[in-house]
Amino acid sequence: MGQERPFDLLNKAIGQQVLIRLKNGVDIRGRVTSFDAHMNIVIESAEELEEGNLKSKLGTILLRGGNILFISPV
* pLDDT tens, position by position, 34-57: 999 999 999 999 999 999 999 999
Question: Tell me, which fold does domain 6-73 have in CATH?
Answer: SH3 type barrels. (2.30.30)
* pLDDT tens, position by position, 8-35: 889 999 999 999 999 999 999 999 999 9
* pTM of the full structure: 0.90
Domain ranges for the chain, please list them.
6-73
Are the beta carbons of 17 and 74 closer than 8 angstroms? yes
- In 3D space, the residue among 54, 41, 52 whose CA is nearest the CA of residue 15 turns out to be 41
